[in-house]
Structure 1
């Protein structure tokens, strides 16, 4: 647990690294990458198909 030392919060290295990206970060990256692929595919289809 974090403690105060002269108006500063003191944490161990393990406590400071405690926040890990959860599944919401993975979902955001997956959705945004998929959307980018769809948009680029649409641009290619409209402008570069022969």
Structure 2
């Protein structure tokens, strides 16, 4: 819970974010990066391969 010290409100990092950190952000970043690499590889093989 937020506390008040010397006229300032003190909160923990979780309270300030208002959310619990989770692995979903890492999973989303990994999957989207992998898909981008896959799509770029397909485009390269289709259009630029000699």
TM-score normalized with structure 1 length: 0.66
The answer for unaligned runs of 5 or more in structure 1 is 4-9
The answer for unaligned runs of 5 or more in structure 2 is none
Deviations 1:3-47 (A, max 9, x none): 7xxxxxx85242325646421100000000000000000000000
Please give the root-mean-square deviation of Cα atoms over the aligned residues, in Å: 2.6
Query: After the TM superposition, which segments of 4 or more aligned residues of structure 1 sit over 6 Å from their partners?
Result: none
Q: What is the total number of aligned residue pairs between the two structures?
A: 44
